[in-house]
Amino acid sequence: MARENAVRKISEGKGFKQARAWRDEKVIIFFSPRGTERFPGHGVAGDWVVSEPQKIVSPGQKVTWQALGDCQTLEIDLPDVFEEPRQIVVKGVAASAVVRADAEIGLHSYEAYVNGQLAIGGSSPRVIIDP
């Protein structure tokens, strides 16, 4: 009985999709309470925080920002390394944008707002374009 080459047999498999070079990236924005007392008539004191202040992405890649918690409006103001629209406002918890195919390599800042409050992330959140 002839012995089959397992490596060759796996590589000849049918119905397998070729894996993408990268996955869609998600940036989580969450509310971080400050631990101070609540004042009558006001919500809990705290900040919206971008979980990964520097996110490495590639040209052509889709990036999604998702707010966890009590988010009514999410606004993302993006640099010109993203496709239009660059000012995204959604009534909800998630917004997405695609990095331009010809995006300049380097560090690019953006701003994220939840319910009108600027989200913080280091000094300011950024994407790092790295092909």
Give the tokens for residue 114. Answer: 């939840």
β-strand pairing of 106-109 with 74-77: unpaired
**Tokens 């409050």 map to which residue?**
117
| Start-to-end CA span in the chain (Å) | 49
- What does the pLDDT look like over 40-96, one tens digit per residue? 776 778 899 999 889 999 999 999 999 998 999 999 999 999 999 999 999 999 999
- What does the pLDDT look like over 3-32, one tens digit per residue? 555 555 555 555 544 444 556 789 999 999
Compare 128 and 10 and report the one with higher pLDDT: 128
**Mean pLDDT, rounded, for 110-131:** 89
pLDDT greater than 50 at residue 129: yes
pLDDT of residue 74: 97
Fold of 22-32+47-129: Immunoglobulin-like (2.60.40)
Domain boundaries, the chain: 22-32+47-129
Contacts of residue 84, Cβ cutoff 8 Å, sequence gap at least 6: none
The model's pTM is: 0.76
What distances in angstroms separate CA 96 from CA 6, 7, 46, 80, 131, one per listed residue?
A: 42, 39, 25, 15, 20
pLDDT of residue 5: 54
